[in-house]
């Protein structure tokens, strides 16, 4: 029994040493520390059962309870649990694939991640963009199978960072219909997101193409100023995001005229989508939101963008 446990400990320490680029003795010490530090920890268990429906795992079984523990540890920023669970995760590639695909597939650009993660994210985006594309789905899973252990650990680590930031997976609100609306105005999909700005987090709504006239030219036409996605966009009190306190959902993005009347209704919710508690708190604290685009999950990165800081009206 003891011998067996020791073999397991040794194997885990070797994997961990390879993954983070430290010596074996140091890895053994850090794992022992983490094991002691994590005793009795419970960090909540978010409902991640939807991961079983994600197309990134090649149809393999996904352990959603395990994924939930990982997310909870990441969101609690508990390094003891994160070390222990991350090393365990190396033996469960389907779960790592589902978990990472959900975080990376939805983003138009992988951002600051490892090179191997960025390559994989491009595959995940293809699958996210078209779930019927079985060749893309095979490719994304085969790429996970082909990763060496440090690459797999890197993928998991990058995905965990995204999950910890987002608090929950990004929410994309689509219209029921495609193309331009009955009044000729383009329909946008909205991605609920946030970004880091000068050490604090700000809420962001990204407007993406649905179809028809939606896009950069139209967003400029309605008066959204150009923006380089670096510092904060300009604030314009004429732009307003309306949200419902009762249902905790987005209602509309509008521009009002000098009399305070609706001038342009840029986006109107076609259905009620309840926002995560984390994003709602962010909005409540900030009382403002960055509205910009074009930016849509799965779409190629647009070279130019527009954005404005809008005020939030709670109703």
Binding site for Zn ion (CB under 5 A): 38, 41, 78, 81
Residue ranges in the chain assigned as alpha helix (H): 2-20, 24-37, 64-75, 79-89, 93-104, 115-129, 134-146, 149-166, 216-221, 277-286
Work out how close the CB of 46 gets to Zn ion at its nearest, in angstroms, rounded to a whole number.
Answer: 15
| Residue 278 token pair | 């984390």
Nearest to 125 by CA among 135, 144, 140: 140
Name the token pair of 201.
């987090």
Report the residue number, 73 or 282, with the smaller CB distance to Zn ion.
73
In angstroms, the Cα distances linking 279 to 117, 200, 283, 286 are 26, 13, 6, 10
Nearer to Zn ion, 44 or 225 (CB): 44
Q: Are 156 and 96 in contact (CB under 8 A)?
A: yes
State which residue, 68 or 81, has the beta carbon closest to Zn ion. 81
Do the Cβ atoms of 107 and 113 come closer than 8 Å? Answer: no
Helix then strand then coil, in percent of the chain rounded to 5, is 45, 20, 35
CB 17 within 8 A of CB 29: no
CB of residue 97 to Zn ion, shortest distance in Å: 24
State in angstroms the smallest separation of the CB of 41 from Zn ion: 3
Q: How far is the CB of 38 from Zn ion (least distance, A)?
A: 5
Closest CB to Zn ion among residues 39, 261: 39
> Closest separation between CB of residue 79 and Zn ion, Å?
8
Residue nearer to Zn ion on the CB measure, 14 or 80: 80
Which is closer to Zn ion, CB of 41 or CB of 119? 41
What distance in Å separates the CA atoms of residue 77 and residue 75, rounded to the nearest whole number? 5
Distance between CA 44 and CA 27 in Å, rounded? 27
Question: Of 161 and 313, which has the nearer Cβ to Zn ion?
Answer: 161
Q: What is the distance between the alpha carbons of residues 95 and 103, in angstroms, rounded to a whole number? A: 13
Closest approach, Cβ 103 to Zn ion, in A, equals: 20
At its nearest, how many Å lie between Zn ion and the CB of residue 211?
45
Pairwise CA distance, residues 27 & 93, whole Å:
22
> What tokens were used for 2?
């003891």
Contact assessment for residue 20 and residue 61, using Cβ atoms and an 8 Å cutoff: no
> In the bound complex, what is the minimum distance in angstroms from residue 305's beta carbon to Zn ion?
39
Choose between 80 and 268: whose C-beta lies nearer to Zn ion.
80
């Amino acid at each position: 029994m003891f011998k067996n446990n020791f073999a397991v400990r040794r194997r885990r320490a070797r994997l961990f040493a390879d993954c983070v680029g430290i010596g074996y003795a140091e890895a053994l010490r850090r794992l022992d520390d983490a094991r002691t530090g994590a005793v009795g920890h419970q960090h909540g268990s978010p409902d991640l059962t939807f991961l079983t429906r994600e197309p990134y795992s090649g149809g393999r079984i996904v352990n959603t309870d395990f994924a939930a523990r990982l997310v909870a540890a990441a969101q609690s920023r508990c390094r003891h649990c994160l070390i222990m669970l991350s090393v365990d995760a190396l033996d469960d590639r389907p779960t790592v694939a589902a978990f990472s695909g959900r975080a990376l597939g939805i983003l138009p650009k992988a951002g600051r991640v490892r090179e191997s993660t960025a390559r994989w994210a491009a595959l995940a985006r293809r699958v996210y963009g078209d779930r019927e594309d079985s060749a893309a789905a095979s490719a994304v899973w085969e790429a996970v199978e082909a990763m060496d252990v440090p690459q797999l650990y890197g993928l998991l680590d990058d995905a965990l960072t995204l999950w910890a930031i987002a608090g929950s997976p990004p929410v994309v609100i689509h219209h029921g219909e495609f193309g331009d609306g009955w009044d000729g105005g383009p329909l946008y999909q909205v991605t609920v997101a946030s970004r880091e700005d000068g050490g604090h987090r700000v809420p962001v709504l990204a407007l993406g193409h649905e179809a028809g006239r939606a896009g950069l030219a139209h967003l400029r036409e309605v008066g959204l100023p150009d923006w380089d996605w670096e510092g904060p966009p300009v604030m314009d009190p004429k732009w307003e995001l309306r949200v419902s306190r009762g249902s905790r959902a987005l209602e509309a993005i509008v521009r009002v005229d000098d009399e305070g009347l609706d001038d342009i209704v840029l986006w109107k919710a076609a259905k009620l989508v309840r926002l995560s508690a984390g994003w709602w708190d962010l909005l409540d604290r900030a009382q403002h939101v960055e509205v910009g685009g074009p930016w849509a999950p799965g779409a190629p990165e647009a070279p130019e963008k527009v954005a404005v800081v809008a005020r939030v009206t709670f109703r």
